[in-house]
Amino acid sequence: MALMRARQEVMKAVYIGAAVVIVLIAGMILISGSSRLLKRPCFLEACPSSEEFDPARFALCVNSLIRQGPSRGYRVLRDAANHKSTQGSFERQQKLLLLCRAIYISEPEAELQAPQLGRPLGVPFLSMQGTNWPCFPLVIVRGMPLLLGEKYIFRGTRLPVADYLEYCREYGRFRQSPFAVLSKMDAEAALDELFLSERWQRVVWEAHSDDTLVYRCDEAALKGALQLQIRRCGKRKKTRVTH
């Protein structure tokens, strides 16, 4: 009986020791994984700026956030918005604002407001609002995102990126369906569809207010800018987006 009890005590000690070792190993793996995660390049480096907008690269960045799910995708954006490197960089802020616009969808009863990027040059923005342009300044054709306006003029006080993210999260819905990464040929066909669409035909290229010219835009120039975005798709390099 005493021998059996001794054996049981030994086995108990072995089990406890094994459990402690497993916990320690798991902790080391977690710490090591977190360290590697912090050393990975920020996903914003892979995201194109507005002045060199590449629909395919932008789609890959958004899709990587979608794969994270609503909670983690939000945290990735929040951490990037609050990072010190974002505070003094308009380019990084602009990238994050466009990502927020792309990843949060308006609810049927409430349309999300566009981010405060500024006044887009060469874009007849007054006639590109409402249900026909729900993601302005982005426009989605065949599941592919394009950017209406690559340069902006801004005056006044801008809503902080973190605040716009919270607004989108509260009043919008996290996108579940990934964007399409089209071949150059399919992207060109999608762009042709946009130019022939009813919403494009309704665009007013010259606007006045109280007999004062607000803007006069060149349709051919905007078409050319969008076609340039498609050409960038054809020249893109493979991009691995990491978090």
Q: What is the pLDDT of residues 67-90, one digit of tens each?
A: 999 999 999 999 999 988 887 788
Summary mean pLDDT of the chain: 81
Question: What is residue 107's predicted lDDT score, i.e. its pLDDT?
Answer: 85
Residue 234: predicted pLDDT: 55
**Contact between residue 115 and residue 203 where contact means Cβ atoms under 8 Å apart:** no
Q: Point out the residues of the chain with pLDDT beneath 70.
A: 1-42, 154-157, 234-243
Please state, in angstroms and as integers, the Cα–Cα distance from residue 145 to each residue in 67, 100, 169, 215, following that order. 17, 13, 20, 25
Residue 70 has φ and ψ, to the nearest 5°, of -55, -45
pLDDT at 165: 96
pLDDT of residue 110: 82
What's the confidence (pLDDT) of residue 50?
87
pLDDT digits (tens, 9 = 90+) for 175-210: 999 999 998 899 999 999 999 999 999 999 988 877
Query: How far is 54 from 236, CA to CA, in rounded Å?
Result: 8
